């Protein structure tokens, strides 16, 4: 062009219709969904704080592409601040706060932070102020995440401890969903071709799926077991996540494109909700001895939220580098690794008192892994692949006059022994 404004041509073409009809900009077809205002608070936040991180908004505020990339990291950092605060501060102060204030006082303090921080966020004028408010929110979340599961595990009866401990997470599942989808669900669905309103509605639908399918775990976590739920749901998460990613490769002009993307994302959420959703916090709240329970739960919560912060910061850049199909495949690979770690190294804790768990974890991890490889997996193959019924499931732990549930069939089996035994060495 005569004045060297080729780079601004697309912006000028979009701006001209707006100048002609400024009151009806939401219906101008030349604008994409993010530019019509339907993105609401997300759009105004990045513009008001001067941290536009996507190309359309960068064209208006920061034409420098390098600055836009920097802002993308800032937006990711803002999103991850609560999880960073939990991982490096709030999780670790929970032990002394519990010793000083007790369980009730710690929960009340965490609830106070969780109430006031969002109110402060609504009044911020700069993104640095928003970071401070989200850090305070992380302190409240950390105190709550450490204390509530421990308090529930200590007060719940043994036979229904898992269901009661996980019940508080139904509210979390309803409001926020899971990390990989929930943190950036509207972004992912927008990349799939949904308009902004539809993307937000589908994101809400995903949260509802997560909430609804968490309910079965209330009853199955104490019968099917923690380990049984994870061993069942993780393989299904492995295939459903890349299936959703591959649907992004279907041409957007195809009627099947949008429906299949949403369908497989919902399938993934349906398998996540009764397994990986409630089990980790339930498990970490009960496996540590009384003398180290707060510290152990602090470590579990800090680890969980550290990786949540890594995901929150990195996902926008991973999506840009891998595309949605590659991103979903990457996380499916991590699920494969997690499945094998669970199968070989995670003991079952269902329907065991907190005192009996000392016996369970008295068996070394090496013996547990060898038992799973040499005893449990061959039994499972004969029973469910070759259909040889009538073979008793091998037991690694035996307790006196204790009724246990077969984690694969859900049927009760009576076992009577005088003391806890490690059968791995005897059956090897």
Q: Which domains does the chain have, with CATH numbers?
A: 1-30 (no CATH), 67-345 (1.20.1250.20), 362-427 (no CATH)
> Pairing mode, if any, of strands 402-405 and 412-415?
antiparallel
Is the pLDDT at 34 greater than 80? The verdict is no
The confidence score (pLDDT) of residue 384 equals: 84
Give SS3 for 111.
Answer: helix
From 242, 167, 250, select the one nearest 211 (Cα to Cα). 167
CB 138 within 8 A of CB 271: no
Sequence-distant (6+) residues with CB within 8 A of 144 are 107, 110, 111, 114
Is the pLDDT at 413 greater than 70? The verdict is no
Confidence of residue 112 (pLDDT cuts 50, 70, 90): very high
How confident is the model over 124-129, as a mean pLDDT? 87
- For the segment 220-256, what is each residue's pLDDT rounded down to a tens digit? 888 888 899 999 999 999 999 899 889 888 887 888 8
The confidence score (pLDDT) of residue 173 equals: 42
The confidence score (pLDDT) of residue 339 equals: 93
Alpha-carbon dihedral 172, 233, 360, 414, rounded to 10 degrees: 110
- For the segment 366-386, what is each residue's pLDDT rounded down to a tens digit? 999 999 999 999 998 888 888
């Amino acid at each position: 062009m005569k004045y060297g404004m080729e780079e601004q041509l697309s912006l000028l073409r979009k701006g001209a219709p707006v100048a002609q009809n400024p009151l009806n900009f939401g219906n101008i077809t030349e604008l994409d969904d993010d530019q019509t205002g339907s993105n609401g608070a997300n759009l105004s936040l990045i513009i008001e704080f001067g941290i536009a991180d996507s190309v359309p908004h960068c064209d208006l505020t920061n034409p420098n592409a390098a600055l836009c990339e920097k802002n993308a990291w800032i937006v990711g950092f803002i999103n991850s601040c609560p999880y960073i605060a939990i991982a490096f501060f709030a999780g670790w102060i929970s032990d002394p706060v519990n010793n000083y204030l007790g369980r009730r006082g710690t929960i009340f303090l965490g609830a106070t932070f969780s109430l006031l921080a969002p109110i402060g966020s609504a009044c911020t004028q700069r993104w640095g102020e928003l970071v401070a408010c989200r850090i305070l929110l992380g302190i409240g979340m950390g105190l709550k995440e450490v204390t509530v599961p421990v308090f529930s595990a200590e007060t719940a009866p043994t036979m229904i401890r898992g269901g009661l401990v996980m019940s508080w997470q139904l509210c979390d599942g309803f409001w926020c969903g899971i990390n990989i989808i929930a943190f950036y669900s509207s972004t992912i669905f927008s990349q799939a071709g949904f308009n902004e309103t539809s993307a937000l509605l589908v994101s809400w639908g995903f949260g509802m799926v997560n909430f609804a399918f968490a309910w079965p775990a209330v009853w199955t976590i104490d019968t099917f077991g923690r380990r049984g739920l994870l061993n069942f749901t993780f393989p299904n998460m492995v295939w459903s996540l890349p299936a959703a990613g591959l649907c992004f490769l279907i041409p957007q002009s195809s009627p099947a494109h949008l429906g299949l993307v949403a369908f497989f994302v919902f399938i993934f959420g349906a398998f996540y909700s009764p397994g990986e959703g409630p089990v980790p916090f339930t498990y970490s709240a009960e496996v540590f001895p009384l003398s180290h329970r707060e510290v152990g739960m602090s470590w579990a919560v800090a680890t969980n939220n550290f990786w949540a912060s890594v995901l929150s910061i990195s996902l926008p850049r991973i999506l840009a580098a891998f595309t949605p199909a590659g991103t979903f495949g990457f996380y499916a690979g991590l699920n494969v690794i997690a499945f094998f770690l669970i199968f070989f190294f995670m003991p079952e804790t269902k329907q065991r008192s907190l005192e009996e768990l000392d016996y369970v974890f008295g068996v070394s991890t090496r013996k547990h892994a060898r038992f799973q490889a040499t005893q449990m997996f061959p039994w499972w193959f004969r029973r469910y692949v070759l259909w040889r019924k009538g073979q008793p499931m091998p037991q690694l732990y035996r307790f006196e006059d204790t009724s246990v549930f077969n984690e694969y069939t859900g049927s009760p089996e009576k076992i009577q022994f005088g003391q806890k035994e490690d059968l791995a060495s005897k059956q090897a």
